[in-house]
């Protein structure tokens, strides 16, 4: 009985997913409003950032407040590669992902050994140091003035101008990001992530090299942020240090917490919703940060497991 129920449940889910995919694909053809498309592009960037952070904060339960720093590292790396070496977005993007990933690995090495408080502080300190480097290494980053004139992506002779091509690019990137995260949850690694979040000591006693998996999670999450940063740089064509602050990191963390730590669907939905709501409701706009802070507190008080609390990897559960 329950098997039949869950199968129909899966069918509805598949139908819902396909419908959503179709809607997302034709959206720019139906809504030709640049403002709305811009919000959608932003939402896509945050989806990538949140799904990435979910590897660390969600799957393994380590609270990282450095996601915006990796975002910035990806953005600056990509911008500088384009501006100084003339590399195209398509080449600079994977390099930026790797570049951020290396920093994720390096931060992960010490960070994974720390208890919660210290982990939060070290990731915040790391983020602040990265921000200070953007601000003060003026010969490279032009400091507080930022880097203008980052070339937009180009396919052949077609240069991205309006929001539509950006929309499809970030949609593809986010789709790949979500897909990869989902596949990871399907493998032994996904189960290991949950195991070490449930009981780290028992995981070690079961022969699991916990540190290795935590570092992997850190690295993966930084790669996601690096790719998002690269896209962001070429989308805005201008970046400055202020964008990649600790507050931004906390905002991304809020998305993961709201979505239900460990739920990919939750991260996607809450990243999209938390980007769209403040944009859509003008009166919230000025209180955007307060809104985010309030949401974190409220979630902890009323539903600490997050909105999508069913199952630790909500896209799955086929049986």
Partner 1 sequence: MFAQQIINSLVLGSIYTLIALGFTLIFGVAKLLHMAHGGVLLFGAYVAMTLTSGLGFSLAAAAPIAIAATIVVGVLVERITITPLRTYPPIAILIATLGMSFFLESAIENIWGAERLSFPSFLESPAISLDKLQVAWLDVFIVGVTVGLILALQILVKKTQLGRAIRATAENPHAAELMGVKASRMLTIVIIIGSALGGVGGMMMGSYYGSLSPPMAMAALLKGVTAVILGGMGSVPGAIVGGFFIAFSENFGVAYVSSAFRDVSAFSAMILILLIRPAGMFGSTVLERRG
Partner 2 sequence: MSLLEIQDLTMTFGGLRALDQVSLNVEEGEIVSLIGPNGAGKTTVFNIISGIYNPAAGRILFCDRPLHGQPMWKIARSGIGRTFQNIRLFSSLTALENVRISLTAHLRYSVLGSVLLLRSSRTAEKRFDSRAREVLDLMGLEQRTETVASSLTYGQQRRLEMARALALEPKLLLLDEPSAGMPTHETLELMETVKGFRERGITIFLVEHDMKMVMGISDRVVVLDNGIKIAEGTPDGVRNNPEVIRAYLGEEDL
Q: Which residues bind partner 1 (CB under 8 A)?
A: 61, 63, 65, 110, 112-118, 120-122, 124-126, 128-129, 132-133, 135-136, 200-201, 204, 210-211, 214, 246-247, 250-251, 253-254, 257, 286-290, 292-297, 300-301, 304
Residues 6+ apart with CB under 8 A from 97: 74, 223, 224, 226, 227, 230
Q: Supply the Cα-derived Rg of the chain in whole angstroms.
A: 19
Which of 316, 197, 305 has the alpha carbon at shortest distance from 265?
316
158 binds, options partner 1, partner 2, none, Cβ within 5 to 8 A by partner type: none
Within 50-69, the residues that bind partner 2 by CB under 8 A are none
14 binds partner 2 (CB under 8 A): no
Among the residue ranges 11-19, 58-66, 198-206, 251-259, the one whose residues contact partner 2 (CB under 8 A): 198-206
Query: Is 109 one of the binding residues for partner 2 (CB under 8 A)?
Result: no
Task: Tell how strand 158-159 and strand 154-155 pair up.
Answer: antiparallel
Q: What CA–CA distance (Å, rounded) separates 65 from 122?
A: 9
Determine if 138 is a binding residue for partner 2 (CB under 8 A): no
Residue 2 engages partner 2 in binding (rule: CB under 8 A) = no
Residue 115 interacting with partner 2 (CB under 8 A): no
Applying CB under 8 A, among 66, 107, 147, 195 the residue interacting with partner 2 is: 195
Cβ at position 282, least distance to partner 1 in Å: 15
Is 35 a binding residue for partner 2 by CB under 8 A? The answer is: no
Q: How far is CA 179 from CA 173, 257, 258, in A?
A: 10, 20, 21
Angstrom CA distances, 58 to 215, 220, 245, stand at: 14, 13, 21
Tell me the window of 15-23, 86-94, 191-199, 225-233 that interacts with partner 2 (CB under 8 A). 191-199
Torsions phi, psi for 158 (to 5 deg): -85, 120
Among partner 2, partner 1, none, the one that 289 touches (CB under a kind-dependent 5 to 8 A) is: partner 1
User: In whole angstroms, what is the distance from residue 28 CA to residue 143 CA?
Assistant: 36
Q: Which does 164 bind (CB under 5 to 8 A by kind): partner 2, partner 1, none?
A: none
Report the partner that residue 304 touches, choosing among partner 2, partner 1, none (CB closer than 5 to 8 A by kind).
Answer: partner 1
Q: Quick one: how far is CA 306 from the chain centroid?
A: 17
Looking at beta carbons only, is 32 or 183 nearer to partner 2? 183
Query: Given the complex with partner 1, which of 98 and 102 has the nearer CB atom?
Result: 102
What's the closest the beta carbon of residue 211 comes to partner 2, in angstroms? 8
Positions 273 through 312 that interact with partner 2 (CB under 8 A): 312
Choose from partner 2, partner 1, none: what does 199 bind? Cβ within 5-8 Å by kind.
Answer: partner 2
Residue 180 interface partner, choices partner 1, partner 2, none, CB cut-off 5-8 Å depending on type: partner 2
Q: Is 98 in the site for partner 2 (CB under 8 A)?
A: no
Binding status of residue 207 toward partner 2 by CB under 8 A: yes
Q: How big is the CA angle at 125 (ends 120 and 127), to the nearest 5 degrees?
A: 95
Residues within the interface to partner 2 (CB under 8 A): 179-180, 183-184, 186-189, 191-192, 194-195, 198-199, 201-210, 312, 319
């Amino acid at each position: 009985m329950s098997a039949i129920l869950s199968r129909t449940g899966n069918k509805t889910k598949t139908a819902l997913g396909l419908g959503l995919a179709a809607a997302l694909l034709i959206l720019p053809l139906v809504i030709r409003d640049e403002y709305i498309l811009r919000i959608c592009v932003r939402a896509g960037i945050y989806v990538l950032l949140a799904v990435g952070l979910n590897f660390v904060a969600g799957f393994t339960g380590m609270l990282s407040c450095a996601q915006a720093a990796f975002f910035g590292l990806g953005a600056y790396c990509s911008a500088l590669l384009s501006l100084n070496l003339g590399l195209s977005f398509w080449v600079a993007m994977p390099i930026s992902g790797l570049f951020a990933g290396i920093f994720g690995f390096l931060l992960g090495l010490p960070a994974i050994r720390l208890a919660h408080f210290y982990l939060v502080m070290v990731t915040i300190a790391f983020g602040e140091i990265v921000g200070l480097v953007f601000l003060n290494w003026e010969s490279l980053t032009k400091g507080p003035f930022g880097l203008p004139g980052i070339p937009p992506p180009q396919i052949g002779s077609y240069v991205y101008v309006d929001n539509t091509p950006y929309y499809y690019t970030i949609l593809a990137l986010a789709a790949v990001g979500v897909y990869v995260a989902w596949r990871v949850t399907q493998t032994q690694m996904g189960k290991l992530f949950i195991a070490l979040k449930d009981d780290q000591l028992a995981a070690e006693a079961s022969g699991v090299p916990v540190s290795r998996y935590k570092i992997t999670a850190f690295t993966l999450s930084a790669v996601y942020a690096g790719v998002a940063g690269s896209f962001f740089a070429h989308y805005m064509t201008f970046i400055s240090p202020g964008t990649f602050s600790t507050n931004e990191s906390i905002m991304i963390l809020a998305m993961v917490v709201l979505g239900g730590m460990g739920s990919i669907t939750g991260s996607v939905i809450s990243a999209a919703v938390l980007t769209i709501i403040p944009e859509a409701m003008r009166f919230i706009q000025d209180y955007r940060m307060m809104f985010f802070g309030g949401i974190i507190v409220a979630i902890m008080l009323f539903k600490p497991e997050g909105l999508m609390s069913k199952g630790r990897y909500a896209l799955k559960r086929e049986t």
